[in-house]
Amino acid sequence: MAYPPLDPKLSADALEKQLLATWKHERLFARTQDAMRYGPPFVFYEGPPTANGRPGIHHVFSRTIKDLVCRYQTMLGHGVTRIAGWDTHGLPVEIEVEKQLQISGKKQIEAFGVAQFNALCRENVFTYKTDW
């Protein structure tokens, strides 16, 4: 199968959109995963995003590298399983909740109520979930 000639007037942005549409229509990612599912296993545990902040460009860069590793392993014939992590990053979350409550340290947390404090920490963990 030959590649169709490339229109020299086509911008890089338009070409990328065209390629992404083709990949989506052809289900290329899913098809490569399906084709290799019985290959030797390669399990990739995705490190967790931070629970107490929005994603930055450095997160995009690291995710891109991680995706390249998984795609390369697929190209080698491995059945790649991606397992996403979600870590609550306990201490930063606790500090953020302490600041919101204007308290600090173990004694003040105990006076506030450990169960209630933990409940607020669990709520706080998901503050930025939709941004990820």
Which helix (H) or strand (E) covers residue 100, if one does? Answer: helix 90-101
Cβ contacts of 73 within 8 Å, gap of 6 or more = 42, 44, 80
Q: Does the predicted model carry a pTM greater than 0.75?
A: no
Q: State the pLDDT confidence band at 88, using cuts at 50, 70 and 90.
A: low
If asked whether residues 64 and 98 sit together in one domain, one would say: no
Q: Kindly state the average pLDDT of the residues 116-121.
A: 95
Q: Kindly state the average pLDDT of the residues 118-124.
A: 91
> Tens digits of per-residue pLDDT, 5-59?
888 888 999 989 999 999 999 999 999 999 998 999 999 988 766 666 778 888 8
Cβ contacts of 77 within 8 Å, gap of 6 or more = 36, 39, 40
Which range marks the domain in which residue 51 is found? 16-84
10 in a structural domain: no
CA nearest neighbour of 70 among 100, 27, 39, 101:
39
If asked whether residues 25 and 79 sit together in one domain, one would say: yes
The structural domain count of the chain equals: 2
If asked whether residues 69 and 23 sit together in one domain, one would say: yes
Contact between 104 and 96 under an 8 Å Cβ cutoff? The reply is: no
If asked whether residues 94 and 127 sit together in one domain, one would say: yes
